[in-house]
Structure 1
Amino acid sequence: MRETLEQLRDTAGHCASTPAWTLSNPDLVDALHTIHDAEQMLTATKLHLIREIEGRNLPIAQEAANTAVWLRERLHITIHTARRTVDLAKTLDQRPALDVALSTAAVNTEQAHIVAKTVQDLASEATPDMVDLAEKALITEFADWEPTILRKAAQRILTHVAPEAADEADRRATERDEKRAQQTRAFTLTNNGDGRFRVTGWLDPEAAAIVNAALDPLCKPDLESTPAQRRADALVEVCRLALRTEQLPANGGDRPQVVVTVPYDVVRKELGVGQLDTGERLTAEQVRRLACDAHIIPIVLGGQGQILDVGQQRRLFTGPLRRALVVRDGGCAFPGCDRPPQWCDGHHIRHWTNGGDTALNNGVLLCGHHHRVIHRGEWEVRIADDGRPEFIPPPYVDSERRPRRNIYHRRT
C-alpha cells in the first residue's frame, strides 16, 4: 500500500504541474469530475488509516490527549476539523454501506458527514431496520442533492422511509435540538491582530429570529456595501441603540460606555492616534468621530501623558439639546438619508477640541454611515441662515459645490 500511495502522490504532483489550458472544454469538465471523485476515494482511505491509527492507540502512545489533538498537530488542521474527521472515521467503521458509498465516490465527504450524523441521531429514535432504510435512501435516492438540500431531506427522512414513526421521532428530535442549542449557545469576539475582530457563535432558532428581526430593518440595500457589510453595520447600530436606551445594567457602577484615551498636540491643536480602554488603537479620524457620540468619554492626554481633560456629559448632545436637534433635523440630516433620530449621533460641526460649542447652531444629527463620511472631510456641513443644516458636496459630486439639504424628514 505504501508503494501505491507514493506512486499516487507522484501522479498527483504531475497533474498539479500540468497546465489546464491544453484541455478541451469537455475534457476540462471531465477532469474536474475525475479529480473530485478521486478526492472522495482518497478521503475514505484517509479515514480508514485514521481508524486503524486510533485502534492501535498510537496517539496515546505518543503522549497526545486524543486522536483529534494528534491529527491537529500532525496534519496542521483545526481541532474542529480533526474532531469531525475522527467522528466520520468511527461512523464509516460502523456503517459499511456509507463506507462503500464514499470509497466509490457515490457520495462526497460533505454528504457523508450529513448521512453519518443522521444515522447517529436516528439510533436513539428508531429501530435498527429504520436506520438502515434511512441510510440507504440518503445514499441512493438523495445523493444528487447538494449538502444544504440533503441536510433538509435528512431531517425528514423518517417520513420517507417510516412514516408511522416519523411524528414521534420529530418531536424527540426537536426537543433534542432545542436542548443542544441552549447548551452550546455562544458568542465570541476575537482579535484577529490586523485591526479586525472576528465574530463567531451559535444561537438557538428563537434567539436567531430575534437577532434577525433587529438587524433586518437596518440592512437596507445600497450600492456601496455588500450584504455581509450591511449586516455587520446593523449589528453595531443595534448596540448603539441599546446604549442610548439608558436601560442597560450598570457596569462597575457606571452606565455602559466606550472610553477613548487620546494625546492632544497643544501646539498644533489637533488630536493624535487614540486608544480604547481595551487597548486597541484608533486613527485620529475615528477618535474625532467617536467623540461626537453621546456615549463616548474622551480622555485627553498632554505631552507627558498627564490627563488634560475627561469629557463630561455637558459636552454631548443630550437632554433638551438633543430633543431640539431631533425636532429640527427629524433624523439623519445628510441629503437623501432616511435614518430616524434614534439611529443618529449628535455631531459637532466645529469640533469641541477646536473650541466648538455644544449648541444647536453647532450640531447636526448624523447616522453612523454619514458620520463617517463627514469625518473624512470631503463633504462639509454648515448651518444656513434659516437655522437648518446644509451640506456642501465635494467637486467630484458637484463641480459647482451647490449646498444640499435632506428633504426626507421635512414636516412642512
Structure 2
Amino acid sequence: MRGTLARAGEAIDDCLEVPPWSLAGPELAAALDAAVLVQRKAAALVLGLVGEVDRSGLAREQGATSTAAWLRHRLRMPPGAARAMVADAETLDRGPALLRDAVTSGAVGAEQARVIGRTVATVHDEAGAVAADKATGMLLDWAGQFDPEGLRRLGDRILEHVAPEMAEQAAKRALDRADQRAQRDRHLTLSAAGDGRVRLSGLLDPETGAVLRAALDPLTKPAGQADERTPGQRRHDALAEVCRLTLRLGELPDNGGEAPQIVVTTAFDAAARQLGVGTLDTGDRLGPEAVRRLACDAGVLPAVLGGRGEVLDLGRLRRLFTGATRRALVIRDAGCAFPGCDRPPRWTQAHHIVHWSAGGVSSLDNGVLLCGHHHRAVHHDGWAVRLAADGLPEFIPPPWIDPQRRPRRNVYHRRC
C-alpha cells in the first residue's frame, strides 16, 4: 500500500506542476471535480486506516491514552478534529455496507456520511433494521442533491417515508430528547480575550434563542445606506442596546445593595478640561472618546480623579438626564433625533451636545436623544449637533459626506 500511495502522491505532484490559470473554463471545472473525487477517496482510505488503528490497539501499544490522542500527536491535529476522525471511522465501520461503498467510491463526502450514519442509527433504534436499510438507500440518493445540512433536515423526517406508522411517536421522543439536551447543555460564558475585549459564547435552549432573536432582530437592520457594519457587528450593537434599555428601566434586582450600573474612573486635566483614559469597574481600560460617550448614559456613574488620585467628583443625578429633563427630551425629540432613524425613545440615550467634561450641563438645551448606533456616530464619525432657532436638533454631517456640511434633521418622528 505504501508504494501505491507513493505513486499516487507523485501523480498529484505532476498535477500541481500544471498552473490552474492555464486551464480553460470547462477543463478547469472538470479538473476540480476530479480533484475532489480523489480527495474523497483519500479521506475514505484515511478513515479505514484510522478504524484499524483503533481496533488493533496500536495507539495504546505506543503509549497513547487513546486513538484520538495518538492522532493528535502523530498528525499534529487539533483535539476536536482527531476525535471527529475516530468517530467518523467508527460510523463507517458500524454503518451499513451501502454507506461504506458510497464513501469509498467518493460519491459521498465525509460530512454527508456523518449525517447519514447518525440518521440511519437513529432509524434503526426507532424502527428496526428494515426501516434503516430503506433510510440508507433514500439518504444516499438524496446525497447527490443536498449538502450535509439539507440531508440533516431531510433525515429529521425520514421516518415519515420509511415507517410512517411510527413517525409521530418517534418525532415526539426525538423532541423530548432534544429538549433534555437543550436544558442540560444551556450555558453562557463571558471571558476576557486578553486585550480588553470580552468573548461571549454559549448555547441557548430554543425558547431563549427565540426570545433573544425577537429582541435583537428589530435592532439589527442597517441604519441607512451609509451603515457599513457587518451583520455580526449589528447583532453586537443590538445586544448592547437591549442591555442598556434594561439598565435604564431600573427594574433589575439590586447588586450588593445598589442598583445595577457601570462605574468609569477617569483622570481629568483641569487645565485642558479634558478627560484621560478611563477604567471600568471590571478593570478594563477605555480611551477618552469611549469615556465621554459612556458619560452621557444614565446607567453610568463617572468617577473623576485628580492628579493625586483623589475623587474630585462622583457622577450624580445632576450630571444625568433623568426625571423631567428626560421626559422633556422625549416630548421634543420623540425618539432618536439622528436624520433618518426611527428608533423610539426607549431605545435612546441622552447625549450632551456640549460634553459635561467641557462644562456642559444636563439640560433640555444641551441634550439630544440618540440610539446607540448614532450615539457612536456622533462621538466618532465627525457629526456635529446643535439646536436650531426653533429649538429642534439638527445635525451637521462631516465633509466626507457633504462638503458643504448642510444641516439635516430627522423628519421621521411626529412631534408635539
Describe how 1:13-412 pairs up with structure 2 within 5 A: 13-16=13-16, 18-61=18-61, 64-95=64-95, 96-193=97-194, 196-221=197-222, 222-223=224-225, 224=227, 225-376=229-380, 378-412=382-416
Contact kept in structure 1, 2:360 and 2:366, CA below 8 Å? yes
Residues 161/190 of structure 1: CA separation in 2 closer, same or farther (3 Å cut): same
SS at match of 1:85: helix
Aligned length: 412
- How far apart are residue 64 of structure 1 and its match? 4.6
Contact kept in structure 2, 1:125 and 1:172, CA below 8 Å? no
Structure 2 residue identity aligned to 1:34: A
Residues 409/63 of structure 1: CA separation in 2 closer, same or farther (3 Å cut): farther
More moved, 228-237 vs 190-199: 190-199
Contact kept in structure 2, 1:262 and 1:299, CA below 8 Å? yes
Contact kept in structure 1, 2:247 and 2:260, CA below 8 Å? yes
- How far apart are residue 158 of structure 1 and its match? 1.3
SS at match of 1:273: strand
SS at match of 1:50: helix
- How far apart are residue 2 of structure 1 and its match? 2.6
The CA distance in 1 between the partners of 2:170 and 2:43, in whole Å, is: 32
Residues 56/182 of structure 1: CA separation in 2 closer, same or farther (3 Å cut): same
Structure 2 residue identity aligned to 1:297: L
The two structures have a TM-score, normalised by structure 2, of: 0.90
Structure 2 residue identity aligned to 1:82: A
The CA distance in 2 between the partners of 1:318 and 1:386, in whole Å, is: 23
The two structures have a TM-score, normalised by structure 1, of: 0.91
SS at match of 1:386: coil
- How far apart are residue 202 of structure 1 and its match? 2.2
SS at match of 1:320: helix
* Structure 2 gap segments, 5+ residues each: none
Contact kept in structure 2, 1:289 and 1:372, CA below 8 Å? yes
Residues 194/4 of structure 1: CA separation in 2 closer, same or farther (3 Å cut): farther
Residues 83/405 of structure 1: CA separation in 2 closer, same or farther (3 Å cut): same
Contact kept in structure 2, 1:111 and 1:143, CA below 8 Å? no
* Structure 1 gap segments, 5+ residues each: none
Contact kept in structure 2, 1:382 and 1:390, CA below 8 Å? yes
The CA distance in 2 between the partners of 1:210 and 1:306, in whole Å, is: 44
- How far apart are residue 193 of structure 1 and its match? 4.3
- How far apart are residue 381 of structure 1 and its match? 0.9
> Residues 152-176 of structure 1, C-alpha deviation per residue, up to 9 Å, x if partnerless?
1111111112222222211111111
Determine what percentage of the aligned residue pairs are the same residue: 51
- How far apart are residue 104 of structure 1 and its match? 0.9
RMSD: 2.4
